[in-house]
Structure 1
């Protein structure tokens, strides 16, 4: 069951289809993003997750369909990573000041909130993966977004820093009172706070609310206690199935299945 709200959606995607050289990247995507919710997108590599974010961010024009933005929507974006020219001597403070309408007080506040004030004068090239993600999150905070879009926020972050960074993301959501749309493979960390999960493989295969079953006796018996701590599950219904190429090969009238998706800690 998808999350709904009495408030109007911040963004609505309607019948979004994207084609590249006659190859379908996304097909008939419909999605509402409501205020103060967390939506996590999962799916196989090449399934269209990043393309969906680009459409929402106006970085990719859909072949068909439309995106409807609430009049008051303000979007902050945290990419997987950015390329910084090694010869460009840019500090964290200078990088953040390049954000449109960035104010010094807001920059200092964002740095303090993410506990990276000590990095102010460090060069971007010298930052660790976790430090860079915090800087990118600070940059996204500067326009006080009510929708925060994160594309694989744990990219390049070591396992010891992942849980802390997710806590910071959750704290940021509460502080900004914003919605979050996030692409992630690290479901063992995000599922507890996610309102809805979308599984995308060129279209929305399935969508549902998370359901933690790590304490289920049968699950523990099959997988063991240690494995259960690193896996999160959610249960939902498919009304179709895919062939080996990812194409839908059965109609809603001929096929109904309940399935459970799982994610394992990749440490």
Structure 2
């Protein structure tokens, strides 16, 4: 079942075309990761799919009553505000204690419920944000560079948690990431973006695609050492697009 489908999506910001003719689809249960260089439009695409950005042209369809759990790239919390983890989950809408406890337990931070939010480590805070995102019982989890600032072991553990949540909640996962060494092991499908979709497919195939290597070189071969998935053969091919991944196309 398709949760979100976009066809020939184009987005402008000011006088710049950030995304052009993007085709995108995510289905129930998939883990899809968007990779690309800085300025390639990754976060813009995510925000457009959520509905926070209005496309200039193209079609965007979401499943009726689609529930989205969103983990932003950054979230500023006033350090002077006496806010505990548990109270944070009540913003902007109060939730039942049982639901809050279950969400924190699923993300491995139930023991932090009474801790002040401003006293958490980066990894702990990301897990709290993730707990907040799954409170909506999402059809799809969207994460924008959710492991930024974490070390490699912390990132790997976080991505493993995402995979476990996908399995237990039955939701799809859409991630934006720059961590090629980790993300390849945690994705069913990878979309390489540079203002347009350069190529997409299963991680092992995309990493060998000329468009991908033009952007990232061949230094990420070791990324697949962590590869765990047995992919459906329908995904075991790369979809190459008409454009090349030259940096001139990025905005």
> What TM-score does the superposition give when structure 2 sets the normalisation length?
0.83
- 8 Å Cα contact 1:99/1:139 also seen in 2: no
Instruction: Specify which of 93, 97, 102 is matched with residue 90 of structure 2.
Output: 97
1:11 alignment counterpart: 4
2:120 maps to which of 104, 127, 132: 127
Structure 1 stretch displaced more, 63-72 or 76-85: 63-72
For 1:211, what is the secondary structure of its paired residue? helix
What per-residue deviation string (whole Å, max 9, x for no partner) do you get for residues 190-234 of structure 1? Answer: 3234121111111111111121799xxxxxxxx99xx85456799
Higher relative contact order (CA 8 A, sep 6+): 2
Q: Which of 21, 27, 40 does residue 20 from structure 2 map onto? A: 27
- Larger mean CA deviation between 35-44 and 83-92 belongs to 83-92
**In 2, distance between residues paired with 1:85 and 1:176?**
32
Q: Quick check: 1:245 aligned with 2:238?
A: no
CA distance in 1, matches of 2:206, 2:190: 16
C-alpha distance 49-213 of structure 1, shift in aligned 2 (>3 A): closer
Q: CA deviation at 1:55?
A: 0.6
User: Contact 1:211–1:235 at 8 Å: present in 2 too?
Assistant: no
- Whose helix fraction is larger, Structure 1's or Structure 2's? 2
Which piece of structure 1 moves more, 94-103 or 199-208?
Answer: 94-103
Write out per-residue CA displacement over residues 219-251 of structure 1, whole angstroms, 9 at most, x where no aligned residue: xxxx99xx854567998445442555127xxxx
CA-CA distance at 1:65 after TM superposition: 2.1
- Find the aligned partners of 2:204 and 2:57 in 1 and give their Cα distance: 34
Q: Which runs of 5+ in 1 are unaligned?
A: 1-6, 215-222, 248-267
Distance 1:142 1:99, change over 3 A: farther
The 3-state SS of whatever aligns with 2:101 is: helix
**Do 1:25 and 1:47's aligned partners in 2 also have CA atoms closer than 8 Å?**
yes
Distance 1:11 1:128 in 2: 33
The 3-state SS of whatever aligns with 2:159 is helix
